[in-house]
Amino acid sequence: MSIVTAREMLIEATKGKYAVGAFNITSLVQLEAVVDAAVETKSPVIIQTSVKPSQFYKPAVMVAIYRSLAESAPVPVCLHLDHCTDVAYCKTCADAGYTNIMIDASKQSFEENIRQTKEIVDHCHGHGDISVEGELGTVSGVEDQIKVTEDEAQLANPEQSVEFVERTGLDLFAPAIGTAHGVYKTKEPKVHFERLEKVYQLLNGERVRVPLVVHGGTGLPPEYVERLIAMGGSKFNVSTELKYTLIDTTREYIQAHREEYDPGKVDAAVRDATRKVVIHWMEMLKSPGKA
């Protein structure tokens, strides 16, 4: 019951003026914590892995654990592959049972981005109901193996966005609007709200067709999040904050319990801290009660 595609989940969110958190996990403890938070708050949720953790656990193992947790959860849960630049690996994960795939060909030329994205859309739609996310423009910062400096970051062009969506047939669209991966260096990052609004009007003004994704959630001020939701953002990616929570909590626990050798207690501390961070995000996104 609880395994759905991101497309249907996010169309609902867009119409309801709330957003769904897409949380990048690198460990199974985090995966459990995210599902726990979703159940506790009755929120729909998206679990994400970037390519490296997915390769580390193997897609089939990741999918098996996801399915076992999601099937027994009373809330909808998706499993998404984040920022994959490798067409073949996108297909591997789709075939293994990921419910959504992000093909990130945003560093390629416009035509090549369209070609690769369409190839994944054709594959995913031909192999069941798998949603595909594509990106136009580039998000600065570091995500897994991809590095983009802020100078190189290019914003998505609204008219090109429409062409991109129409020619690829993708399900979820991530226009670059100035948000960044990692940690923002200033308290007021330059986010181009009007760019998101324009893209939203062109794509979804009359009827919600393609939900919009905001990358680089970590560190966005709450008022920015609220404004981005109002302008049509319905999937917010949160990665760095969960990594910091895992590392900092582990370090602090071990420092405070130097004589103890009980990994289960470290895991419990990480799970608890992660659950709190995720619930905080869900509240900002207004997803509690929406499952």
Stretch binding Zn ion (CB under 5 A), from 29-37, 107-115, 117-125, 137-145: 137-145
Rounded Cα distance between 138 and 157, Å, is 11
Question: Tokens at residue 108, please?
Answer: 């390629």
Rounded Cα distance between 175 and 26, Å, is 25
Site string for Zn ion, 139-158 (x = CB under 5 A): ----x---------------
Q: Give the nearest distance from C-beta 136 to Zn ion in angstroms.
A: 13
Tell me which DSSP letter residue 156 carries: P
Q: Give the nearest distance from C-beta 53 to Zn ion in angstroms.
A: 14
Distance of CA 266 to the CA centre of its chain: 26
One-letter amino acid for residue 47 of the chain: I
How many other C-beta atoms are found inside a 10 Å radius of the C-beta of residue 283? 14
Question: Tokens at residue 102, please?
Answer: 């992000």
Site string for Zn ion, 197-236 (x = CB under 5 A): ------------------x---------------------
> Between 51 and 277, whose beta carbon lies closer to Zn ion?
51
> Between 84 and 231, whose beta carbon lies closer to Zn ion?
84
Positions marked active-site: 82
Q: How many residues does the chain have?
A: 291
> Between 215 and 235, whose beta carbon lies closer to Zn ion?
215
Q: Give the nearest distance from C-beta 82 to Zn ion in angstroms.
A: 6
> Between 39 and 175, whose beta carbon lies closer to Zn ion?
175
Phi-psi label, residue 286: left if phi above 0, alpha if psi -120 to 50, beta otherwise: left
Would you tell me which residues interact with Zn ion (CB under 5 A)?
Answer: 143, 215, 237
